[in-house]
Every structure is written in structure tokens, then in C-alpha cells.
């Protein structure tokens, strides 16, 4: 950013332009389908993948930037999905009102978990969020009046600005929201707030000495993460139009974790790429290969371990990682390396 760039570089290196181009590429998909070049199912898979990207981006703010692990992402996403289905179907609220409530309720809960997190030493947080996720799962299973239990809660394509969306319309909405989320997250994290979260993760002592209120920024991180998970949940339930309790369990939360570890901690494009690896690949590629489908969990686990150990910056940085391994100059540091105090226990 400090080097002099020529005009051409200045244009293609402009992050906003890049986001827009990505958005336009995704938006082309329904047209390609109409031309018979891709299957209808593919569009749905990619729409869902974008939805998962939004939730995973939330987890990336929490884990990647702030170093706070959460195993409850799926639970919060599910809660928002059920809320939106309940408000629009059972209570017949307009989509907008329902949207606001469905974002607000899980986010408030997420902030409460953030408050709890203040008291838990970092590594116990995983356990606390695991328990929270389990509590939510239990609620989804048991509270039939709210979730319709195992028969599933149904929802419709929404009506916005007086326009009734169909499946393709909903896909466009997802693309637009994804790109807006990318831009906002990029802006939010590229400056002071991003540095404060980084400081909290990298050295809590330094953060406090530099006037950063760990309390405030943990709440912001939890709030942002649950808000994005909730947004993803609402989009999901109005795109797939049904929600079952079994979707929102620990395996999905692990998928989000795999996405950001494999795609890249603290990277927006990494999160997108990770989502494609975890969701789109297994839907579009692995299912075509005999036996492979049965091993998708194994593959995910192996990838998580390999990436954490050897490519800790994820796919987003695989090329520069490789160059670093081959090259002499050490210009990168492992993002999850232990500090002195960790090793003594």
C-alpha cells in the first residue's frame, strides 16, 4: 500500500472493485443455468455455500482475529433460522420485522456468551460454547411448538420491497448480501478495531497496556460473530425453506472451523475458498466419486490437522507459505504458535 502503483495495478488491486467482480461472477450463475451450462442443483449448492461463508466469516472474526474459539456457531445459526421461520409462518410477521427479531435474539444471546467468556480462561471457552451449542440443540429437538421438532419448521421465499422472490431471486439476494458483508467486514477490520482484536489475541498484556478494553472488544467480537451467524441462518431457512434440528449440531460447527482453518484465518477470500472446499466440493465433487462421500468427515479432519500444522495461513496463503518454506528469508510466523507461558502449562 505504500509502494507506487501504476494505474492498472491501482485498479485491479482496489479491494472494492475485487469484491464487486466476485459478486458479478456469482450473479452470472443463474444465466449460465438458463443457457444450460450448469445444473440447477449447482446453483443451489453455491447459494448455500455463500450462506455458510457468511457464518464462517463471523467465526473468523472470533477465532482468527480475536483468538476466541467457539463451537456454538451452528447453534446460533439454527436459532436464527427457527426464529425467522416461526415469526414469518406462525406469527405471520412481515419479513423485515421478522428479520430484525431473528437477528437480534441470537445476537443478544451471543453477547451474553461473550460476557460469560470474560470469566473463562481462553481454553475453557471451547467447552463453554460446546455446552451452549448443546443446550440450543436440545431446545431445537424438544420444543415442538417453536421448532416443529423432527418434522421440521417450514418457511417461504421472502417478499421484500413488495417483490415476491422466487428461487433465483433469493439466490441474487444471497449474492448481494454476501458481497455487502464482505465489504463491511473488510472495512470494519482493516483499521483500529481489527488491530485491537489482533492485539487481544496476540498479547492480552500488550492490549491492556495500550488502553484496549478487552471486555469491550470481546463483546464486539462475539456480537459480530453471532450477528453474521444469524444472518446466515435467516438466509438459509428462506432459501432451503425447511429447518431440521439435526442440521444445527456440532458437526456443522466443526465445518465452520474447518472452513476458516483450511481457507485461511483472518482472510475474507480464504473463508470463501474454505467454504467451497468444505461444502461445494463435497456436494459437487466428492459425491461423484465412489466411496469418497463416506469419507468426507475423515477428509475434513485430515485437512484440518494438515493445515494447522503445515499451512497455518490456509489456502489463502498457500503459495507464499510454500515460497517461505523454500526460500531463505523468514518473513512469516505461525499464527497459532505457543507463547512461552503456554508451554510451562
Partner 1 sequence: MADLMKHEATLLDIKNLSIAFGGLKAVDDLSFSINQGEIYGLIGPNGAGKTTVFNCITQFYKPDQGELRFRNKKGDIVSLTSLPTYRVLEQGIVRTFQNVELIRELSILDNVLIGAHIDYEKTTVLDELFNTGRRRREEKKQIEAARRALQFLGIDHYRLFPAGSQPYGIQKKVELARTLMSDPKLIILDEPAAGLDERETVELADEILRIRKEYDTTILLVEHDMQLVMKICDRISAINFGRLLATGTAAEIRADQKVQEAYLGVDA
Partner 2 sequence: MSEFFGIILRSLEYGSIYALASLSIILVFRTSFTTNFAQGMIAMFSTYFVATLIHKSGLPLGVAFVLGLIFALLLGFLIDIIVIRRAAKLSPVGKQIITLGVLSIILGLTPNIFGVYDLNMPKFIPQGDMKIAGTSISYNALLNIGLGLLVMLTLYYVLHRTKAGLAIRTTAENAPVARLMGVSTKLVTMFAWGVAGCLSLLAGMMASPFSQVSTTFMNDIQITAFLACLLGGFTTFFGAVAGSYIIAIASNLLQVYLPQGTVWGKPILYILLIGFLFLKPFGLFGKRYVKKV
Asked if 220 is part of the footprint of partner 1 (rule: CB under 8 A), the reply reads: yes
Residue range at the interface with partner 2 (CB under 8 A); choices 84-92, 96-104, 192-200, 329-337: 329-337
Which of positions 164-203 make contact with partner 1 (CB under 8 A)? 184, 187-188, 191-193, 195-196, 198-199, 201-203
Residues forming a β-bridge with 159: 164
Site mask for partner 1 (CB under 8 A), range 315-344, x = bound: ---------------xxxx-x-x--x----
Asked if 27 is part of the footprint of partner 1 (rule: CB under 8 A), the reply reads: no
What is the separation, in whole angstroms, between the first and last Cα of the chain? Answer: 40
Residue range at the interface with partner 2 (CB under 8 A); choices 40-48, 121-129, 157-165, 228-236: 121-129
Q: What is the DSSP letter of 5?
A: -
Q: Cβ(235)–Cβ(107) under 8 Å?
A: no
Asked if 260 is part of the footprint of partner 1 (rule: CB under 8 A), the reply reads: no
* Beta-carbon-side half-sphere exposure of residue 185 (alpha carbons within 13 Å): 28
Residue number with CB closer to partner 2 (269 or 295): 295
Which of positions 188-227 make contact with partner 2 (CB under 8 A)? 205
Q: Cβ(22)–Cβ(179) under 8 Å?
A: yes
Residue number with CB closer to partner 2 (179 or 200): 200
Q: Cβ(106)–Cβ(233) under 8 Å?
A: yes
Residue 59 burial (10 A CB sphere; 0-12, 13-18, 19+): buried
Q: What is the DSSP string of 102-123?
A: HHHHHHHHHHHHHHHHTTS-HH
What is the rounded distance in angstroms from the CA atom of residue 134 to the CA atom of residue 315?
31
Asked if 257 is part of the footprint of partner 2 (rule: CB under 8 A), the reply reads: yes
Out of 1, 35, 92, 123, name the contact with partner 2 by CB under 8 A: 123
Neighbours of 312 (CB within 10 A): 18
Q: Which listed option, partner 2, partner 1, none, makes contact with residue 187 (CB within 5 to 8 Å by class)?
A: partner 1
Q: Which listed option, partner 2, partner 1, none, makes contact with residue 195 (CB within 5 to 8 Å by class)?
A: partner 1
Q: Which residues bind partner 1 (CB under 8 A)?
A: 2, 184, 187-188, 191-193, 195-196, 198-199, 201-203, 205-214, 220, 330-333, 335, 337, 340
Amino acid at each position: 500500500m505504500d509502494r507506487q502503483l501504476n494505474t492498472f495495478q491501482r485498479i485491479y488491486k482496489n479491494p472494492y472493485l475485487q469484491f464487486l467482480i466476485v459478486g458479478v461472477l456469482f450473479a452470472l450463475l443463474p444465466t449460465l443455468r438458463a443457457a444450460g451450462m450448469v445444473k440447477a442443483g449447482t446453483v443451489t449448492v453455491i447459494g448455500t455455500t455463500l450462506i455458510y461463508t457468511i457464518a464462517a466469516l463471523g467465526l473468523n472474526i472470533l477465532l482468527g482475529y480475536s483468538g476466541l474459539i467457539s463451537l456454538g456457531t451452528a447453534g446460533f445459526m439454527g436459532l436464527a433460522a427457527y426464529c425467522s421461520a416461526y415469526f414469518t409462518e406462525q406469527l405471520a410477521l412481515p419479513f423485515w420485522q421478522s428479520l430484525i427479531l431473528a437477528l437480534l435474539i441470537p445476537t443478544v444471546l451471543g453477547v451474553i456468551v461473550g460476557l460469560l467468556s470474560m470469566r473463562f480462561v481462553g481454553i475453557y471457552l471451547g467447552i463453554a460454547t460446546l455446552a451452549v451449542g448443546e443446550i440450543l440443540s436440545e431446545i431445537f429437538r424438544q420444543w415442538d411448538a417453536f421448532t416443529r421438532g423432527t418434522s421440521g419448521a417450514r418457511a417461504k421465499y421472502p417478499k421484500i420491497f413488495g417483490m415476491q422472490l422466487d428461487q433465483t431471486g433469493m439466490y441474487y439476494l444471497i449474492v448481494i448480501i454476501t458481497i455487502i458483508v464482505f465489504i463491511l467486514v473488510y472495512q470494519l477490520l482493516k483499521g483500529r478495531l481489527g488491530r485491537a482484536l489482533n492485539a487481544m489475541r496476540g498479547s492480552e498484556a500488550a492490549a491492556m497496556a495500550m488502553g484496549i478494553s478487552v471486555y469491550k472488544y470481546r463483546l464486539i467480537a462475539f456480537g459480530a460473530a453471532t450477528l453474521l451467524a444469524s444472518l446466515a441462518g435467516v438466509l438459509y431457512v428462506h432459501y432451503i425453506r425447511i429447518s431440521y434440528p439435526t442440521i444445527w449440531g456440532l458437526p456443522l460447527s466443526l465445518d465452520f472451523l474447518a472452513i476458516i482453518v483450511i481457507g485461511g484465518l483472518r482472510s475474507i477470500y480464504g473463508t470463501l475458498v474454505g467454504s467451497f472446499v468444505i461444502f461445494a466440493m463435497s456436494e459437487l465433487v466428492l459425491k461423484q466419486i465412489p466411496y469418497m462421500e463416506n469419507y468426507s468427515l475423515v477428509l475434513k479432519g485430515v485437512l484440518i490437522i494438515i493445515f494447522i500444522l503445515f499451512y497455518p495461513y490456509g489456502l489463502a496463503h498457500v503459495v507464499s507459505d510454500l515460497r517461505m518454506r523454500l526460500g531463505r528469508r523468514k518473513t512469516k510466523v505461525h499464527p497459532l504458535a505457543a507463547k512461552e507461558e503456554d508451554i510451562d502449562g
